[in-house]
Structure 1
Amino acid sequence: SLVAASVMAAPCALALSKLVYPEVEKSKFKSEEGVKLTYGDARNLIEAVSSGATISVKVVSNIIANLIAYLALLAFINSVLSWLGNMVDVDGLSFQLICSYILRPVAFLMGVSWEDCPVVAELLGIKLFVNEFVAYQELSKYKQHRLAGADAWAGTRKQWISVRAEILTTFALCGFANFSSIGIVLGSLTSMVPLRRSDISRIVLRALFTGTCVTLVNACVAGILYVPRVAKVDCTSLLNTTLSSSSFEVYQCCFEFFQR
């Protein structure tokens, strides 16, 4: 799924970027005269390596500084929301929790069943607010619960989501568009072209929105092409031989019997 999502993201990102930021002027890069490559002043390989290493230190330091600043800002916002939530007796109020409510219609439009939408929306909020790696870690926990045959609900919270929801969420999380990446983009691009700092800062939120839409569109396409695998299980022999098992197949068989 991740490989397919990565391949699908390239043409989708190009198409959506043209829609969000249309090219209304004639491009300067349609002819060879418009493409002028500049060459460094290095006279040999050793000088080129040394010059590149010196430049990279500035780029990396700018990325780290911007990343720390934006992560600190996001942590401050979460702390303020948590403090406000405690004042009105709302435990665990955070940006992720707010996103889990705001993004439920988005998850439903992706093709996720409504009962799985709160979990998927929360994962989308984690990906948008923190990063996709933390969101994938949370998704893996839900998958482990499903494979272990855990109960679908633990109180008012779902323990696992359907296979279809897992696949769609995998596609929706496969992207670099999150608030913490704003610092990385600003730090890397502004260090290379410092004169365009204001232009980059102006369109970085638009790029974040476009990147998020790319992953959501990929998830929608995956939902259209998804074909569920219906595995036929001999429930009678399975239950006679593995009564003490807690596998997902046993859960399916028991669920089918009790539904009859």
Structure 2
Amino acid sequence: MEAIQMGAISMLPMVGDIIVSAFTFVTLISWINSTTVWFGDRLGVHNLTIEVMASYVLYPVAYIMGIHPDDCRAVGMLMGYRIFTANFVAFLKMAELKGNKAAYDGYMLATNFTGGVEYTRDDVILSGLNVTLKNGFIRYERSEAIITYSLCGFSSVLAVAMTLGIMHSLVPNRRHWISTIAVPALVAGNVANCMTGCFAGIFF
């Protein structure tokens, strides 16, 4: 009982650091998104979030990985979710895109490929059903395979924030050094994830 009690007490600072770091980071991302959306509305750009900006910034990266140009923006958006939040959030968004693809295919089959479709920026509108597929969908299976493997990594800013909280509790004397290598480690991890996607594209 003493070992259990002492172990639990010794973990309190670490758990506190993780919770505070995660909460602070999520709050920061929410504030940045709210700020960019506010500025975007005044500039005539709707829903200008970090994810939307990532879809443009990471477009070349997706293209280099072997993603079809029609899917590069959607894949860039998913990579933005993984980098700035977490991979499970990106997988949830990818599931939404897969659901949109299933709805689109079902609509086209039901209308014998004659149903009206409108494209408004990132969304796809199925005119016959008056349904809007938010953020569209990934068109090609190869693109889907590449991004699926690429998302299987934990190199996100949220993971870095939580790891810093843990390491600062375990080795407080090395706090400055750990903070210094955090960004290079994040970049290296994302490069590794992209390379995994590239190999998936080779063998698809």
TM-score, normalised to structure 2, is 0.82
Tell whether the 8 Å contact from 2:138 to 2:144 is kept in structure 1 after alignment. no
Match of 2:75 in 1: 120
1:70 aligns with 2:25: yes
Give the deviation of 1:108 after TM superposition: 0.7
Match of 2:44 in 1: 89
Letter paired with 1:180: L
Match of 1:144 among 93, 99, 114: 99
Q: Which whole-Å deviations, capped at 9, do the CAs of 1:138-180 have from their partners, x for residues lacking one?
A: 1112223334414686514443421111111111111111122
Residue 155 of structure 1 aligns to a residue in which SS? strand
Instruction: Report matched runs for 1:1-260 at 5 Å.
Output: 46-148=1-103, 149-150=105-106, 154-156=118-120, 157=122, 158-226=136-204
Q: Which whole-Å deviations, capped at 9, do the CAs of 1:76-132 have from their partners, x for residues lacking one?
A: 221221121122111100111111001011001111110111111111111112221
Quote the Cα distance in structure 2 between the aligned partners of 1:159 and 1:97: 15
Quote the Cα distance in structure 1 between the aligned partners of 2:80 and 2:42: 23
Tell whether the 8 Å contact from 1:62 to 1:187 is kept in structure 2 after alignment. yes
Quote the Cα distance in structure 1 between the aligned partners of 2:170 and 2:186: 20
Quote the Cα distance in structure 2 between the aligned partners of 1:82 and 1:51: 47
- Seen in structure 2, the aligned counterparts of structure 1 residues 159 and 221 have a Cα distance that, compared at 3 Å, is closer
Tell whether the 8 Å contact from 2:97 to 2:137 is kept in structure 1 after alignment. yes
Structure 1 residue ranges without an equivalent (≥5): 1-45, 227-260
Quote the Cα distance in structure 2 between the aligned partners of 1:79 and 1:146: 29
- Seen in structure 2, the aligned counterparts of structure 1 residues 102 and 151 have a Cα distance that, compared at 3 Å, is farther
Tell whether the 8 Å contact from 2:74 to 2:137 is kept in structure 1 after alignment. no
Tell whether the 8 Å contact from 1:143 to 1:161 is kept in structure 2 after alignment. no
- Seen in structure 2, the aligned counterparts of structure 1 residues 110 and 150 have a Cα distance that, compared at 3 Å, is farther
Match of 1:40 in 2: none
Residue 11 of structure 2 aligns to a residue in which SS? helix
Give the deviation of 1:193 after TM superposition: 0.5
Q: How many residues align?
A: 181
- Seen in structure 2, the aligned counterparts of structure 1 residues 88 and 145 have a Cα distance that, compared at 3 Å, is closer
Match of 2:130 in 1: none
Q: Which whole-Å deviations, capped at 9, do the CAs of 1:172-224 have from their partners, x for residues lacking one?
A: 11111112222201111110111111111111111111111111010001111
Tell which structure's C-alpha radius of gyration is larger. 1
Match of 2:125 in 1: none
**CA RMSD after TM alignment:** 1.7
